[in-house]
Structure 1
Amino acid sequence: MDIRKITAAAAAFAMLCMAASCSSEGKKSSTKNTHKAASEPVSESVEGVDANDAVDAVSGDAYLAIADEGFNVQYLGDKDENKSNQLSYDAGIAHIKGNGDYTVSVTADTNGFRYDTTGDINGEFVVKGLGFAAVIIDDAEKTMPNAVITVKGIKVDGKDIELKKKSYTNTESGSVRANIFNEWVSDDSIPADAKCAEGALFNNGDSASPSDINDGGYSAQIVSRDDFAQWKNVEVNFSVSGLE
């Protein structure tokens, strides 16, 4: 199922975070999302807000999917319809043309974000905490199924933060992704199709049979929430391999 067809923010993150590999028992995400979608999209007539600055990732584009700790503000690769993707304004996406290094980003320092969250382009809204983050290549299950994403570095407000574990790549909801922070996937429930630049993490797609590459250092939670206590800008540097 394509999360772009889900209009409610809560439903979108329920699908994004709780797909096949994210369904650990006893975990539920829908109760955490308290953001209420507005009844109308941001108008291009709002002085100081240009709706064209909202970025919509298309097939083959990589983007940073992210939400704050309360799932009140987010970016899911879509434009800001119904104020449900407030971080879409000036979001940095990367069209994947082959193997190489790329960067994706989001920023809360835009008039569109401030208007969405406060009703005033001069208002102030402090983004707090981290509820979810991943690098996602849109539609890549069809267009580049062999792509491997390796997260190499993350900056929060211009400061490099520590990567506590190694990222892996898997396929979900028609896209290829590398989780940065996904609490619904524990280290002992990594999906069977997980892979890294060196190869598959499991033999023959059997989650009960880790490969020699799988040294226990791979995780869906490669950062600490402490590094996202309050933030305005997040930038992720990553490489793509596995493409001819």
Structure 2
Amino acid sequence: MNIRKALAAVLAAAFICGAAASCSSKDKKSPDKAASAEPTTAPVPGVNFDEAVGVQAGDAYLAVVDSNWDKQYLGGTDEKNQLCYKAGVVHIDGNGDYKVSVTANSTAFQYLASGDPNGSYKVNGIGFAAVIIHDAESLLPNAIITVKNVKVDGRDIELKKKNYTNTEAEAVRTNIFNEWVSDEFLPADARAAEGGLYVNFDTNSPSEINDGSYSAQIVDPAEFKDWTDIEVDFSISGL
């Protein structure tokens, strides 16, 4: 891993895990650092940088980082969020079904990734993925996200375990793949449509539904090798 990729990994880990060096502790929180700044890339003939999509308060998006910790979308539209172009972002306005997505199929991403706006660069794997509702701690504090389906390039991916919802640094999220959160140390406020995973937020008192079936890693990362599109269908309840 070169210096640039190592730095990208550190920055992305800070987004996922907060400022702490490890996410193994059940007390760790992670910030929602979605940026709303305009893209800083200069105009290039044949490249549509206007397709950049940022998030606003109450918007849900698919946060994703590739396995090289190089290509990512964390809700912003700056040069660090190369996968912001044509991202599928949705505003949460009540209980119901929703979809979020990211794609490598844009002239801007292809230009940034390969230098050719008409290229066919595919993203290599995932190092992190989550559905996040930006600034939802105050707007939608009771929201519960239930992942229904994950698709890679139109192919359904097996959900190995159940997802849970938790609140972190003003955002409501559910991890799809986060290797920094072990099944033994889920957040104290972890919850599902059936209820909380812990009694009175006490991680020493798992509830009846906390039977080991919930995880921050509900997919096999091997299913995400060399992809163009990821889509996640989910439902919102609790509002």
Question: Structure 2-normalised TM-score?
Answer: 0.87
1:218 is matched with which residue? 214
Counterpart residue type for residue 74 of structure 2: L
Give how far 1:180 is off.
0.0
Distance in 2 between residues matched to 1:48 and 1:214, nearest whole Å: 52
Secondary structure at the aligned position of 1:130 is classed as coil
Counterpart residue type for residue 171 of structure 1: T
2:111 is matched with which residue? 115
**Does residue 101 of the first structure (1) align with residue 102 of the second (2)?**
no
Could you tell me which of 179, 182, 187 is aligned with 2:175?
179
Once the two structures are superposed, the pairs formed by residues 1-244 of structure 1 within 5 Å of their partners are: 9-10=8-9, 12-19=11-18, 23-24=23-24, 41-43=40-42, 45-79=43-77, 81=78, 83-243=79-239
Distance in 1 between residues matched to 2:56 and 2:162, nearest whole Å: 27
Counterpart residue type for residue 65 of structure 1: A
Counterpart residue type for residue 90 of structure 2: A
- Cα deviation per residue 1:115-156 (whole Å; 9 max; x = unaligned)? 111222123422111100000000001111110001110000
Counterpart residue type for residue 12 of structure 2: F
Gaps of 5+ in 2: 1-6, 26-38
Gaps of 5+ in 1: 1-7, 26-39
Secondary structure at the aligned position of 1:230 is classed as coil
Give how far 1:49 is off.
1.9
Counterpart residue type for residue 48 of structure 2: D
Distance in 2 between residues matched to 1:239 and 1:56, nearest whole Å: 21
- Cα deviation per residue 1:175-201 (whole Å; 9 max; x = unaligned)? 000000000001001011100011110
Distance in 2 between residues matched to 1:134 and 1:211, nearest whole Å: 24
- Give the RMSD, CA atoms, in angstroms: 1.6
Give how far 1:11 is off.
5.0
Counterpart residue type for residue 77 of structure 1: G
- Cα deviation per residue 1:48-91 (whole Å; 9 max; x = unaligned)? 22222100011000000001101110000111x2x211110000
Distance in 1 between residues matched to 2:115 and 2:167, nearest whole Å: 37
Distance in 2 between residues matched to 1:215 and 1:174, nearest whole Å: 28
Distance in 2 between residues matched to 1:110 and 1:60, nearest whole Å: 25
